[in-house]
Amino acid sequence: MRVLILDERRRAWLTPDFDPKSASVGDATRFRWIEREFARIVGPRPFIKQLPVVLALGAMAFGVPVGELLHSRKYSITHSRQKLMAFARIVLPRDRCSTYEIGRAFQRDHSTVFFACEKYGAGIAGLLNREDAA
């Protein structure tokens, strides 16, 4: 069964096989789920904008609304946002997605994206078994 999840401005079809509020969910589980759903949504439709999909999936995976993920200064949410920025930098093709574009999608400066990639990039690449750290 598929559920229609409405973002503030966008829609995405997502499967309800993931509970972000579960106590046993770690970052590895979250990022593998985001990567799997991202490939399922964007794979057959490479023409759609990919950063909003990453943002919506990340908000779902961390259990926060997109608006709060973009604007909040709470410690846990800022770290979730930084992890998603680094994830986007690792997963999205570099020729189609620069740090400037990632920063614009998250309403931050490109230097904030660089900081997030330095802080979390290697760890996320290791979780996803990727060689290309931020």
pLDDT digits (tens, 9 = 90+) for 26-44: 888 899 899 999 999 988 8
Placement of tokens 């999205």 in the chain: 92
**Per-residue model confidence as pLDDT tens digits over 75-91:** 989 999 999 999 999 98
Give this prediction's pTM.
Answer: 0.78
Buried (b) or exposed (e) across 52-82, using 16+ Cβ within 10 A?
A: ebbbbbbbbbbebebeebbeeeeeebeebbb
pLDDT at 1: 35
Sequence length of the chain is 134
Contact 105, 55 (CB under 8 A): yes
Q: Where does the pLDDT of residue 15 fall: very low under 50, low under 70, confident under 90, or very high at 90 and above?
A: very low
Amino acid letter, 78:
T
**Per-residue model confidence as pLDDT tens digits over 42-72:** 888 878 888 999 999 999 999 999 999 999 9
Query: What domains lie within the chain, and their CATH numbers?
Result: 25-127 (1.10.1750.10)
Angle formed by the axes of helices 27-42 and 75-91, nearest 10°: 50
The residues, any chain, with a CB within 8 Å of residue 120's CB and separated by 6 or more, are: 82, 83, 86, 87, 134
